[in-house]
Every structure is written in C-alpha cells, then in structure tokens.
Amino acid sequence: MAESSPKCVYVVFGSDAFLRDGYRRQVIEEVLGGADPQLCVSRFEGDAELADILDDLRTLPFLAPRRLVIVDDADDFIKAHRSALEDYLEHPSPTGTLLLCPKSFPATTNLAKRVAAIGAKLDCTPPAAKDIPAWIARRAARDGKQMDRRAVELMAQWLGPDLARIDSEMTKLTLYVADRPAVTVEDVSAVVVATAEVSPWALTDALTAADAAAGLNVLEKLLTQPGEEFRVLGLIGWHLRRVLKAKQMLIAGRREADVFQAVRIFGPGQAAMRKLLQQRSIGQVGRDFRELIRTDLAMKTGRDPKAALQRLVVALC
C-alpha cells in the first residue's frame, strides 16, 4: 500500500488471512502514525451495533491525529447497514477512520463506489499460481536479497500459494545466507526442502512446543557432520533471543499480534509460542540463556558436543 494521507474509510477484503493481517497493520500505521493504538483504536465484531461504531468514529481522538474504528468479519455488518454506511460516508467524521474487514466486497455496489472515491479498497485475494514466483521474488527483495530463477521456482513448487509459509521460510533463508546478497537453489534445498525430512527449524519448533523427545530426535538427525554442533548452538541462541524479545514486548504491554509480527511468527506456530510465553517467566528465559552459555563453554573446553547439546535441549523443554 503506497504511503498517503490517512483516509476516512478503508476496506480490507479477501480470503487470504496473511494478506489481511499485513494490510490491517499498514492501515493502522498510516492512520495513527506513531500514536499509541491502545489510546485511539476500537475493535468490533460483525454483530456490533451501528450506533456504537458511529459514536466511536465521532469521538475525538486522545493523543493522536485520528481515531480508528475496526470492524472485523464485517460481511454481516455491511449487509445489515449498507444504506446507513453510505449515508455516513457522505459526511464522515473529520477525525475518525473506519476500517471494514469483510471477506467479500463487490465493486458494483454504491458503497464500494463511495469507498473507492474517498477511501481505499485493499484486495487480499491470494495471487494465482502463475503469480506466486513473482510474489516470492518481491518478498526476497524486501529483505534485500535476490533469488535466482531456479530457487524461486523451487520455493513456488514446494510451498504453493501459502503466503504465510513463504514469508516464514524467506525469513529463515535470509538468516541462513546472512550477508550474502543472493539466495540460491542450494540454499532453498538446505532450508526449505528439508522440511519434508528434517530441517534445522524443526529443532526450534520442538523447543517452542517444549517437546524434548522431538527435539532430541531432530538433534540426532542434524549432527551428521563435524562442525554442525556450533551451527545448531547458534540456531538455539537465535530461538532464545526471539523468545526474549517476545517476552519483553508482552511485559511492556504490546499487543500479541504486534509481538508475533515482530518475531515473524505466523499461522499454527503462534499457538505454540503463545503457550511458551505464558509458561516461561522472564527469569526462566534468563536461566535458559545461562544454560546456553554453559553449553557453549562445555563444547569449547573439550566435552562431548552432542551430549552437551542434548542436555541443553532437555533443559529448554
């Protein structure tokens, strides 16, 4: 979504949850700037009363340039109040922005035409199969990476139209290639293909789920060549830093959705991370880091690296 002045109405529609979440965050940033969303954002479900929403839209914002009112699952709400919404958009609040989030929003309706004239419609229909490679290439460019044609085609073939998974795997690939500007087909094979067998990221998934048995099983399959021990230790360190960042953001009062976005967790992985963050206190996370340091020291002072990592995996679960 191109940067522009905040509008009085936005409609984020379409079936792809990943795209909807991304556009919703962009609208919030565009409308509020740096203001605290907790002070000037109201959220309603589709069965909300029209009067309550209009009252909120006309309420002056507090410590913010505008007030944002979001209606999730808005299909039924729009159907029930289409005429009233058209009337409201003839004379919208000068300080309120309405964000409607339906699954469908036909362009032929008078309401859609009014939104197009004074607001913005953001289509979250997933790209067609033929457009997935281009979407992958753009996602890589966002991280400052280039992907050769074979790498793009391989990801498209294995991941299909699952944009949330593509985004997650691209984050892993960016970490994997580090400072290298290009992502090759070999990189994709090392990080993404392995999910069909065993991937290094299966270990962090097991740690997030606190599944020691699964973690030890993955560890056994990862330690097949000399030198892999320190790569695995680095991966575990990255996992702990992500947990620490998420925990600190929650303690600071940040919204869970913002936390998951910041640590790049989407889809099914959110449930496991939510449970981990609920069960792990900040003190326990600190102890986890001390276990990591002890393991690093043990490995560097001649102890059996595999045994040290096994002990660490059990301690973290």
What are the structural domain ranges in the chain?
9-123, 129-195, 200-316
Specify the pLDDT at position 247.
92
Specify the pLDDT at position 238.
87
Specify the pLDDT at position 266.
73
- pTM beyond 0.95: the answer is no
Three-class SS state of 10 = strand
Sequence-separated contacts (24+) of 150-153 with Cβ below 8 Å: 150/184, 150/185, 151/183, 151/184, 151/185, 151/187, 151/188
List pLDDT tens digits, range 42-68: 999 989 999 999 999 999 888 888 899
Q: Which fold has domain 200-316?
A: Zinc Finger, Delta Prime; domain 3 (1.20.272)
- Note the CATH architecture for domain 9-123: 3-Layer(aba) Sandwich (3.40)
- The torsion defined by the Cα of 185, 166, 254 and 9, in degrees rounded to 10, comes to 130
Map tokens 């880091």 to a residue: 289
Q: How far apart are CA 245 and CA 131, in angstroms?
A: 34
Longest dimension (CA), the chain: 76
Specify the pLDDT at position 160.
79
For the chain, list residues with pLDDT below 50.
Answer: 2, 194-197
Strands 67-72 and 96-101: parallel
Map tokens 């000037």 to a residue: 40
Could you count the other beta carbons within 10 Å of the beta carbon of residue 147?
A: 24
Q: Are 40 and 11 in contact (CB under 8 A)?
A: no
List pLDDT tens digits, range 98-116: 999 999 999 999 999 999 9
- Note the CATH architecture for domain 129-195: Orthogonal Bundle (1.10)
211: which residues sit within 8 A by CB, 6+ positions away?
Answer: 317
Map tokens 């029930």 to a residue: 80
Q: Are 24 and 51 in contact (CB under 8 A)?
A: no
In angstroms, the first-to-last Cα distance of the chain is: 41
List pLDDT tens digits, range 197-234: 456 678 888 999 999 988 898 888 788 766 678 878 88
Pull the structure tokens for residue 65.
Answer: 């340039």
